[in-house]
Structures are given as structure tokens and as C-alpha cells.
Amino acid sequence: MKKEAIYHKAKSNYAYAYDKETLHLRLRTAKDDIKSVHLYCADPYEWTCVNEGINEWAWNRQAYPVQKEFSTSLYDYWMVEFKPPHKRFKYGFILNDGEQELLFCERGYFEVHDPGIINDSNSYFSFPYMNEEDIFNAPAWVKDTMWYQIFPERFANGNPDLNPENVLPWGSCDPTQETFFGGDLQGIINQLDHLQALGINGLYLTPIFESPTTHKYDTINYYEIDPHFGDKQTFKTLVTQAHERGMKIMLDAVFNHMGDTSPQWQDVIKHGENSRYKDWFFINSFPVVDEGGQAILGSYETFGFATNMPKLNTNNKEVKAYLLDIATYWITEFDIDAWRLDVANEIGHAFWRDFRKAVKAAKPDTYIVGETWHDSTPWLLGDQFDSVMNYPLTKAIIEFVATDTTDEVVFVETLVDALYRYPQNVNEVMFNLLDSHDTVRLLSLANGNKNKVTLCYTMLYSLPGSPCIFYGSEVGIDGEYDPLCRKCMVWDEALQDLDYFNHIQKLIELRKTHDVIGNGGFIEFISFHDKTVAYRKYNDNESIYFYFNNNDSAKSFTLHPQLQSTQVIDLYTANIFEAPSSLKLEPFSFAILKCAK
């Protein structure tokens, strides 16, 4: 038995309350090492007297089978759902490798009937009590939300009267970081029909508050809509009309830093050490600008090395009160549904705990998404964020399909790692994406290969989480890194590639029709080899099978036994056929299959 590969930790992503009644328990073992696993558990207070004469008692342990959920090149992953009758229990795992059987518990490894451990309940793993306030609780609506990210300056110009003086004709050239084309809030309102037809029911807007730049991540005034985007009444109209269509609205909160033209920072420049706002920022020395008005690098902390974005001191009581008031203001006054938090991992955890309390008090089902690019467990314990931008999932899909820089083995390992990194109830609300305003666009990553792009989207919409596409993806917009990933949306139908629109629309329709495709079930990998992957999405009521060929040549798959020699429907094409034992897929193609009966 390869003990060095075995892993479990109580009260973690390997042992957590999924809901008020159900615990999820996970276990990792070396690949193909363990033949069977049983959960060995009991209520800590349930004992039976086995000998009254000597007052001998036995702990009422019982064994339950644990199912293997995933296998990668290195590990097997096991999972069991368990409902403790009294919301508490202690437990271990009985591991059998075909040659020996051991009890694995918090103290280590023992013979299953070792008299020194069998009734020593304090040596087992413990879940003391399923306190409701400790259960991860994100808004239920997020599980069914199909997001669409909008960079407002480049989406649609609905009110030319608001154009900046230096505005250029819409889409007349590739953008620079300083190029204005006049996108605004009215433009978004005007295109809600387009988004609704696609199947979108969640809009994520990058910053819309007053700022001198195209991207608005250097905020001047968090209480005002940028005048080139519109006004508060226009924004209220957008929220109202979106809500009438069943669409949620998420705004971008830039609380790590603010713009250097903000009144607060200008006061620091003017008054130096005597500024009432000096403690709002992290200032290392005065003055912060030279005689020519140029920032003195190193005299204050910034976002990255961008001197136009001085970093806010969120430990300061005034700053905290100011930002928390902003967070609740846009909820209470305009009824927004969610906040995306920019550079969230560079702000202290204490601030985010207070942020969550304030936001949830204002509107309990507000969705909170943090921008982090790495493991985000410290922020996803139920006291800070509901979700983060799921870049590990992004990398898994992009590197296997779009850029062809990893193989199917690494893809599965990366995906399983992403799924086991967090509890299932966290995965169900993760903000899943393939590209954004911070990345190269998917079509460019795929080097213009249309079929690869469709494979990526098919994977995105078939996995747990809350999927998002970047504006223009549905009409075939490409683009390298910023600023080229922020091109103007193409509204001329003659220049749109509507194959992307139809594909994404179909995937959204399938996901909404079949709950198991999204968050309504589990995933099982059927096979992965030679740049092909097949997996099953299943629950008690339905099984749907996904087959992907990521090759430039046709490949054959052995169909899952449940599909063989029966009528099968391809849910994507609606074709019904008598399935043979194998399935041939053309280069860079996929199939979504289900038993027709």
C-alpha cells in the first residue's frame, strides 16, 4: 500500500458540508493501488454496552462503500456523500489493496480490528457539528447564469452626444490604450435583444465609474457614472430592463487602488504630509511628485508599477467606511446583483470579511466574485467571496485545445485538480471563462482555427460553474493582448461570423434544458488518449456523454456500454441513430450523446 500518496484532511475541501444535511468526503490514493474503500464511522456519542458486569462499552461504527470518482496518471480520487443523523460524526477509511486491509484515521494507519484503536473515537477524523452558519452559501441563481462580459467603451455607441472630443469612428482602426470609440450604457440597452437571443442572463460590466481612461480602472469618483457612458438614470434604466428580461447585472469594484486624478490623491500632491488623505494611501516619502509634476517612483505604493494608480490603504477606517458605503450604495440605490472585485488578492482578508457582511446585509443574494489567478482557498471559506475567476479551468481548456501545448493526460489532471481544489458547492458557482479584457482572445489563441474554438466552448458549457463569454466572441472577434483584445464590437451583420453565435446559443440552450450538463450532476472520465477525451455527466435521472477529438485527423472512440446497440440521440444535431460499438469523429469535432429511450 502506497501510504505516501494517501491524503485526506477533515474540515477542508476533502471534508465539508455540501448542504444542511449532507457531508462530502473525499480521499486521494495512488493510481490503481487501492481496490476498495469504505467509510468507517459513527456518531461520537453512540455507544452500546456489551458487558454490564464490567461496564464495557463499544462504539457503534458502521462501514459504507466509497466510490472512485476520478483517476489521473498519478492518483485515484474517491468520494462519498453521507448524512449524519445528528449532524456530527467521527470517521476513518478502511483501505484494501488486495493484499492487506488497513484503517486510515487521523492518527495514522492501523489494523482494522486493532484493540488499541477500535474504540478510541478521538483517534478518528472528526466533523464535530454541521453548523448552518459554517456551510458555504452562495446565491442559488448563479448556478443557472450564463454570463457575458462587456467592456463598455467598445461594445456599442448608443448616444453619440456623449462622445469624447477625440472619439474615432466605430471600429475604424485597431485600438490603442488611449483610443476612444464612444461605447456607452445606452449602447448596451439597445443591444439587450441580441444578448437575450443568445441566451445570456448575466451581464458583467468592467468599470463604469468616472475615470479619464478607456478602461476605467483608475477611478476618480466611485459615486458617479462616467459622463461618456451616461448618467445614473441611464444606468437605472439598464438595470430595470435587464431585470425585466431575467438578466442579472454585475459591476466591477476597483478597491485596491484609485486614479491619480481623484480628489483624494490630488490633495496628497498639493498638501503633502499635511493632506487629510495621506493615510488613505501607502506613502513611503514626500513629496510624491517632482517639481515638474511627475510621479516619483517608489515614493508611494501602486498597482503594479502604474504611478497613475496609487494603492488604497484598506486598513484605514475612513477608507474602509468609504469603500463599504460605495459597495452598498449601488446595491440599495440601483439594485445591482453582483460585484466583481479587481485585484482582490492584494487586499487584506479582514477588509473582505467586512465587505461581505455589508453587501449581504444590503442584499443577501448578491454574488461576490474575486479576481485571483491562483489557488483561492483562503477567500472561499464562506466568509469572503462566493467565487473567483476560474483561471485554472481556463488554462486546462486553452492549453489542451486552443494552443495545443499540453496533452489529454495533463488536461484531465489539471481539470481534476481544479475540481478537487474546492468543495463541490464552490465549484458550482465558480466564474468560468476562456478569455477576457486581460487576456488574448480565444480565436487568436487558437490561431484562427474555428473548430478548435467550438471545442473550447463546448467544454466550457459542459462543466460545473457559471460560464462567461467575452463580448464579440459570438461573432468571431479576435485580438492579441491589451489593447487588441478590446476591439470594437462588430455590429455589421455582413462582417459577423454567426456560426459562433449559433454554436454558443445551442450550448446555452442545451445547458438550460439538461440540468446535468451544468451543475446538476457529476462528471466521470470515460477515456483520454491520443488527444481525445470522453466524459459522462450524470445524475440519478440522466446521463449525457461528451466526446472530443482534438486531432487534425479523424479518430474512433469505443462508446460507453450504455450507448452500445441502442438508439442514441446526438443532442447537438438532434440526429437519432442506432449506435454501433464505436464512434468516428472528424478532426477537431465533438459529439454530445444520450440514449434516445
Tens of pLDDT along 466-524? 999 999 999 999 999 999 999 999 999 999 999 999 999 999 999 999 999 999 989 99
CA dist 167 and 237 (Å) reads 25
- Contact indicator for 489, 151 with CB cutoff of 8 Å: no
Q: CATH code at 128?
A: 2.60.40.10
Give residue-wise pLDDT tens across range 370-386.
999 999 999 999 999 99
Task: Tell me the pLDDT tens digit for each residue of 67-79.
Answer: 999 999 999 999 9
Could you tell me the pLDDT band of residue 54, with boundaries at 50, 70 and 90? confident
Specify the CATH number for the domain of residue 546. Answer: 2.60.40.1180
Active site residue 260: no
287: cis peptide before it, omega within 30°?
Answer: yes
pLDDT for 103-136, tens place per residue? 999 999 999 989 888 889 999 999 999 999 999 9
Q: Which residues pair with 68 in a beta bridge?
A: 78
Q: With 90 as the cut, is the pLDDT of residue 47 above it?
A: no
In the predicted structure, residue 149 carries a pLDDT above the cut 80: yes
pLDDT in tens, 206-259: 999 999 999 999 999 999 999 999 999 999 999 999 999 999 999 999 999 999
**Type of residue at 176:** T
Is the residue at 381 inside a domain? no
Question: Residue 596: what pLDDT?
Answer: 85
Query: pLDDT for 555-564, tens place per residue?
Result: 999 999 999 8
The DSSP output letter for 389 is B
CB half-sphere exposure, 236, CA atoms < 13 A: 8
**Cα-trace Rg, the chain:** 27
Query: How many domains does the chain divide into?
Result: 3
Question: pTM for the full model?
Answer: 0.95
Q: Is 22 exposed, middle or buried (0-12, 13-18, 19+ CB in 10 A)?
A: middle
Cβ atoms of residues 393 and 432 within 8 Å:
yes
pLDDT the model gives residue 528: 94
Q: How far is CA 492 from CA 151, 156, 170, 193, 574, in A?
A: 18, 12, 11, 16, 31
The CATH number covering residue 272 comes to 3.90.400.10
State percent of the chain over pLDDT 90. Answer: 94
Whether 76 is in a domain gets the answer: yes
Q: Buried b / exposed e across 76-87, counting CB within 10 Å, b at 16+?
A: bbbbbebebeeb
Q: What is the number of residues in the chain? A: 597
Does some domain include residue 567? yes
pLDDT in tens, 577-589: 988 888 999 999 9
Determine phi and psi for 10, rounding to 5 degrees: -70, 150
Domain residue limits at 557: 521-595
Amino acid letter for position 4: E
For residue 467, what pLDDT is reported?
98
Torsion sign across C-alpha atoms 335, 504, 580, 596: positive
Distance (Å, whole) CA 336 – CA 243: 10
CB-based burial label for 364 (10 Å; 0-12, 13-18, 19+): exposed
User: Do the Cβ atoms of 265 and 281 come closer than 8 Å?
Assistant: yes
- Does 190 map to a domain? no
Is residue 151 a part of any domain in this protein? Answer: no
Give the domain-ending residue among 270, 298, 313: 313
Classify residue 40: in a domain, yes or no: yes
Name the residue with cell 446535468. 516
Task: Please say if the pLDDT value at position 270 is more than 80.
Answer: yes
Average pLDDT over the chain, rounded to an integer: 96
- Cell representation of residue 153: 467603451
Helix (H, G, I), strand (E, B) or coil at 419: helix
Q: Could you confirm whether 52 is annotated as catalytic?
A: no
Tell me whether residue 532 is in a domain: yes
Whether residue 567 contacts residue 539, with contact meaning beta carbons closer than 8 Å, is answered with no
Among the listed residues 76, 153, 226, 371, the single catalytic one is 371
The reply to whether 27 falls in a domain is yes
Selected catalytic residue, list 342, 354, 428, 478: 342
Q: Given 134, 156, 181, which residue is the final one in a domain?
A: 134
* The C-alpha cell that represents 94 in the structure block: 478502511
